Amino acid sequence: MLIEQIWTANAYRNFNYLIACPETGEALAIDPLDHRQCLATAKRNGWRITQILNTHEHGDHTGGNEAIIAQTQSKLLAHHKARNKIRGVDKGLAAGDRVKIGERVKLEVLDTPGHTMSHLCLFVPSDPPALFCGDTLFNAGAGNCHNGGDPSALYATFTQQLALLPDDTRIYPGHEYMENNLRFTLDREPDNRRAMALLAEVKSQNPNHAFVSTLALEKEINTFFRLGNSTLIGKLHEAFPDLPKAPDPKTVFLKLRELRNKW
């Protein structure tokens, strides 16, 4: 499997992705907002974009669909619940489906509601594995639920799906928010040495060659995976004095999401 992470350099800080089969050169474009860069990258590598996949229905993930389809006649894939939200979907996907690229690349579809209720992620059981997670999981953060989402569903996605993936899974998010998310981690966990060291490392990173984290690292630096951390819970009591002394993980997650919305 060949991966190109494409930095759009736009106000929303989007990442687009191309995944290609090394044997056939067929490629899948994930959330190709910057269609010009996606097409140019495919051409430079000698690849043919034959499929587009939208992780969810928001315009900053679907905006390049029509331009790429016009030039490549690619098939458009999306969550089966997004057919009436994304124009021109050729195939609706559900949990457990497989997306095949060329001869050698197969991706597993995860139904991952939360950011929206028709959001999917793609898991690649390669060596090492990879997760293309749209706006569900960010480096050191989690997607918001403002536009058609639900934080309780996002909690279930994190705890019942993402946390159970292999620790060496590489994380490929839909946006580059790492520095700001690490600052939120340190606001909640001032003693998180791993987050502190990583913030110093990525503060001046070039998003064209962005840091790629793993699930194991996310469990060290991402508050939304660290729901039992004593420092985090102590700080949470400062913000929410009526919180039970030992809040359950879901309550911690929901309160963190509430704080992050205002932070």
pLDDT in tens, 195-230: 999 999 999 899 999 999 999 999 999 999 999 999
Q: Is 135 annotated as a binding residue?
A: yes
Residue 209 annotated in ligand binding: no
How is residue 261 written in tokens? Answer: 């919305």
Give yes or no for residue 45 having a pLDDT over 90: yes
Percent share of the chain, pLDDT over 90: 98
> Is residue 101 within 8 Å of 27, Cβ to Cβ?
yes
Question: Token pair 């996002």 is at which residue?
Answer: 154
Tell whether 175 is in a known binding site: yes
Structure tokens at 85: 């939200």
Q: Show the domains of the chain with their CATH numbers.
A: 2-262 (3.60.15.10)
Q: Was 58 annotated as part of a binding site?
A: yes
pTM: 0.97
For range 51-60, the mean pLDDT: 98
pLDDT for res 127? 87
Q: What is the pLDDT of residues 237-249, one digit of tens each?
A: 999 999 999 999 9
pLDDT at 138: 98
The reply, when asked if residue 111 is annotated as ligand binding, is no
pLDDT at 174 over 90: yes
Provide the token pair at 176.
């580059």
Rounded to 5 degrees, φ, ψ at 238 are -65, -40
Rounded average pLDDT over 29-37 = 98
